[in-house]
Chains A and B, each alone.
Chain A
Amino acid sequence: MKKESVLIRLRGISKSFDGETVLDNIDLDIHDKEFITLLGPSGCGKTTTLRIIGGFETPDSGEVFFEGKLINDLPPYRRQVNTVFQRYALFPHLNVFENIAFGLRIKKLCEEEIRTRVKEMLALVNLRGFEKRHVSTLSGGQQQRVAIARALVNNPKVLLLDEPLAALDLKLRKDMQNELKNIQQKTHITFIYVTHDQEEALTMSDTVVVMSEGRIQQIGSPVDIYNEPVNAFVADFIGESNILDGVMLEDYKTKFSGQVFSCLDYGFEKNEPVDIVIRPEDVDVVPVERGMLTGKVINVTFKGVHYEVIVEIDGFKWMIQTTDYVAPEATVGIYIEPDAIHVMKKSQYSGKIGDYSSYSEELEHLSDVNEIPPAEVRYEE
């Protein structure tokens, strides 16, 4: 994607609540017409970042620039951004039409223009004929659409979306993902989207910002983030990955699990300790004699499109996704192409994540990101 000019610039943003650091020195550029997603587990600071851009929180330190102008102290009503709130916050005393018309009435537009623009919005979000309906009679998905229309009708430069799909069921969420992406492409408005759902982030975004513990871990396109994670946290949070302890012997040559492998990575110190990421779908199961490594199959789970196989090699449990059936307890070889190996610098997350030794179906469900996280939004009491 061609990079447009920078619309919002965050510099050195820090914020803490009750002495607890929520954002730690954040730098971020948001480009015009971009669909950018702030992705991370709950408590990583993504919602606070969004609220600072919206003007609902003031950073303790750092600067927020909008089109080059410092807007730290600009109240929300004077910012050219609109928000789709978590759980929508539609006004319960107004019907669908008046909810959407709310911002236009504040701007004191004439009745005719208001009617035209609200109609346009209702068409855009597929809610024609819902004008007179009371918001409490709408389904979650419909309320979601009204919330989007209510924000977009004001022609904001930027639309902020705070986990807008978290309360919807899986099927509806998939549909809305596509719809949101379409709306963004139709309207050419910058979307800043907050989610903890990595799949949602990869599906919709031009740019993904992975956050953890109040810091930005990585900024990049979905493909970059997936293929070239910068550290163990990103590799683990985005998709499944086997993260191994390794050593970079020299450019294009690395050693892990007691074997030397060729790879495509370079630019490390000689014999530098590194983290190695290998995605489960990039590992081939082969007969023992052709294997680069050999191990024992611990667990096989049928997943529909593929089998998920846990293989123990040299004390490390690998996750492998393969379309061929593998028998449990069998001894197998694995084969890894050089381009399947991704080498990362050591980080604070090294060694904490990556092994599937604690793997079980139950844990898989526990770590499933489809559940609604505890609201990260905090209001001062």
Chain B
Amino acid sequence: MRSSVRHRSLLERAAAAPHVVWAILFIVAPLLFVIYFAMTDAEGNITLKNLASLADYSNIFLLSVSFAFIATLICLLLGYPLAYFMSRASKPARRALLLLLMLPMWISLLIRTYSLMALLDNGGLLNTLLVSLGFERIKIIGTGGAVILGMIYDFLPYMVLPIFTVLTKLDPRYIEAAADLGCNGLQVLGRVILPLSLPGVISGITMVFVPSISTFYISQKLGGGAFELIGDTIERQFQHPSTYHTGAAISLVMMILIIISVAIMNRFSDNGGGFVV
């Protein structure tokens, strides 16, 4: 492997070319644009004003982080037991559960969010049902809870799948060894299964937290406009050419924050052995 890195054949270079072009066009170039816009004003002069103005958005940052944090935590609390249960199920049951979990993922995120609206709206299915049963209508859409629920609903599979994968690959002999050394079921879980599935947990946390913190349509559709998250702010800034620069600055800071948190997360899983998000 190492030698092929040093002397790549022409064919190998040719095979990699489409990917390199793609990466430059759609990843590297936009990134450079973001950095450029973040560091310049409307006349193209270099300035730190955009970054300095971010202090005005600290409340939105805070709200986004806390919503994403709560959603991720609940996803973890729901997702881990589900993944554990699935990994323990018989093969046919496991396949059926996996299909059920994956099925919504084949539908566009946007459509799923709209369908959640249809369910939870004041005139939606849930409230119609409640009224017909003689209960009061509950206002769900437009609350913070609805936004968090949307995040959980949309991103839960991303928590379950990596944990499930790690758990199914766990050598059953570790569990037997723990039982042999005196662990009851709960101790086996706490001292062996949990630590050994940490890479999956870290992966799941990252895969839920990152899209949750940057979402804008979930908060718009389910928050009823009452909650502005950082994703909404960025979207709004990019709708007017005059505020491109602020939008770029917010994006840049977001990116840096996410990269830092992913790096910290990967630190934790270092002990678990070669694992990358």
Q: Which residues of A contact B (CB under 8 A)?
A: 54-56, 75-77, 81-83, 85, 87, 89-93, 102-103, 106-107, 136, 150-151, 154, 377, 379, 381
In the complex the two chains form, what is the Cα distance from A89 to B198 in whole Å? 18
**B271 located at the interface, meaning its Cβ lies under 8 Å from any Cβ of chain A in the complex:** yes
Q: Are A91 and B177 in contact (CB under 8 A)?
A: yes
In the complex the two chains form, what is the Cα distance from A89 to B177 in whole Å? 7
In the complex the two chains form, what is the Cα distance from A381 to B94 in whole Å? 11
Closest to B194 in A: A93
- List 18 A-B pairs, Cβ < 8 Å: A75-B184, A77-B181, A77-B183, A83-B180, A85-B180, A89-B173, A91-B178, A91-B192, A102-B178, A106-B181, A106-B183, A106-B187, A106-B191, A107-B182, A150-B181, A151-B181, A154-B181, A381-B91
In the complex the two chains form, what is the Cα distance from A151 to B180 in whole Å? 9
Contacts of A75 in B (CB 8 A): 179, 184
Contacts of B182 in A (CB 8 A): 77, 103, 106-107, 154
- Binary per-residue interface labels of chain B (157-194) against chain A in the complex, 1 for a CB within 8 Å, 0 otherwise: 00000000000000111101111111110010001100
Q: How far is the CB of B185 from chain A (nearest CB, A)?
A: 9
**B272 located at the interface, meaning its Cβ lies under 8 Å from any Cβ of chain A in the complex:** yes
Q: How far is the CB of A167 from chain B (nearest CB, A)?
A: 14
From B172, B176, B181, B195, A103 is in contact (CB under 8 Å) with B181
Q: Are A93 and B179 in contact (CB under 8 A)?
A: no
Closest to B273 in A: A92
Q: How far is the CB of B93 from chain A (nearest CB, A)?
A: 12
In chain B between 11 and 45, which residues have their CB closer than 8 angstroms to a CB of chain A? none
**Extra 19 A-B pairs, beta carbons < 8 Å, given A56-B179, A92-B273:** A55-B179, A56-B176, A75-B179, A75-B184, A76-B179, A76-B180, A77-B181, A77-B187, A83-B177, A89-B171, A89-B174, A90-B177, A91-B177, A92-B196, A93-B195, A103-B181, A106-B181, A106-B187, A154-B182
- Binary per-residue interface labels of chain B (137-149) against chain A in the complex, 1 for a CB within 8 Å, 0 otherwise: 0000000000000
Q: How far is the CB of A143 from chain B (nearest CB, A)?
A: 13
Q: Are A76 and B176 in contact (CB under 8 A)?
A: yes
Contacts of B181 in A (CB 8 A): 77, 82, 102-103, 106, 150-151, 154
In the complex the two chains form, what is the Cα distance from A83 to B181 in whole Å? 8
**B3 located at the interface, meaning its Cβ lies under 8 Å from any Cβ of chain A in the complex:** no
Interface size on B, residues (CB 8 A): 24
Most buried by A among B174, B182, B195, B196: B182
Q: Are B180 and A93 in contact (CB under 8 A)?
A: no
**B4 located at the interface, meaning its Cβ lies under 8 Å from any Cβ of chain A in the complex:** no
In the complex the two chains form, what is the Cα distance from A329 to B172 in whole Å? 57
**B9 located at the interface, meaning its Cβ lies under 8 Å from any Cβ of chain A in the complex:** no
Contacts of A81 in B (CB 8 A): 180
Closest to A93 in B: B195
In the complex the two chains form, what is the Cα distance from A76 to B180 in whole Å? 5
Q: Are B180 and A54 in contact (CB under 8 A)?
A: yes
**B239 located at the interface, meaning its Cβ lies under 8 Å from any Cβ of chain A in the complex:** no
Contacts of B174 in A (CB 8 A): 89, 91
Q: Are B196 and A85 in contact (CB under 8 A)?
A: no
Contacts of A103 in B (CB 8 A): 181-182
Q: Are B272 and A77 in contact (CB under 8 A)?
A: no
Q: How far is the CB of A263 from chain B (nearest CB, A)?
A: 49
**B108 located at the interface, meaning its Cβ lies under 8 Å from any Cβ of chain A in the complex:** no
Most buried by B among A76, A87, A136: A76
In the complex the two chains form, what is the Cα distance from A91 to B176 in whole Å? 11
In the complex the two chains form, what is the Cα distance from A75 to B178 in whole Å? 12
**B90 located at the interface, meaning its Cβ lies under 8 Å from any Cβ of chain A in the complex:** yes
Q: How far is the CB of B237 from chain A (nearest CB, A)?
A: 45
In the complex the two chains form, what is the Cα distance from A154 to B177 in whole Å? 13
* In the complex with contacts A85-B173, A85-B176, A77-B184 CB distance below 8 A: yes
In the complex the two chains form, what is the Cα distance from A272 to B196 in whole Å? 63
Contacts of B176 in A (CB 8 A): 56, 76, 83, 85, 89
Contacts of A56 in B (CB 8 A): 176, 179
Closest to B192 in A: A91
Contacts of A102 in B (CB 8 A): 178, 181, 191
From A83, A93, A377, A381, B271 is in contact (CB under 8 Å) with A93
In the complex the two chains form, what is the Cα distance from A38 to B177 in whole Å? 21
In the complex the two chains form, what is the Cα distance from A106 to B91 in whole Å? 32
Q: How far is the CB of B170 from chain A (nearest CB, A)?
A: 10
In the complex the two chains form, what is the Cα distance from A103 to B184 in whole Å? 12
Most buried by B among A83, A377, A381: A83
In the complex the two chains form, what is the Cα distance from A92 to B269 in whole Å? 13
Q: How far is the CB of B175 from chain A (nearest CB, A)?
A: 9
In the complex the two chains form, what is the Cα distance from A85 to B173 in whole Å? 8
Contacts of B178 in A (CB 8 A): 91, 102
Contacts of B184 in A (CB 8 A): 75, 77
In the complex the two chains form, what is the Cα distance from A82 to B182 in whole Å? 9
Contacts of B171 in A (CB 8 A): 89
In the complex the two chains form, what is the Cα distance from A75 to B179 in whole Å? 8
In the complex the two chains form, what is the Cα distance from A115 to B184 in whole Å? 23
Contacts of A377 in B (CB 8 A): 173
Contacts of A106 in B (CB 8 A): 181-183, 187, 191
In the complex the two chains form, what is the Cα distance from A381 to B168 in whole Å? 11
Contacts of B191 in A (CB 8 A): 102, 106
Q: Which 6 A-B pairs have the closest CB atoms?
A: A103-B181, A89-B173, A106-B182, A76-B179, A89-B177, A93-B195
In the complex the two chains form, what is the Cα distance from A78 to B175 in whole Å? 15
Contacts of B90 in A (CB 8 A): 381
Contacts of B271 in A (CB 8 A): 93
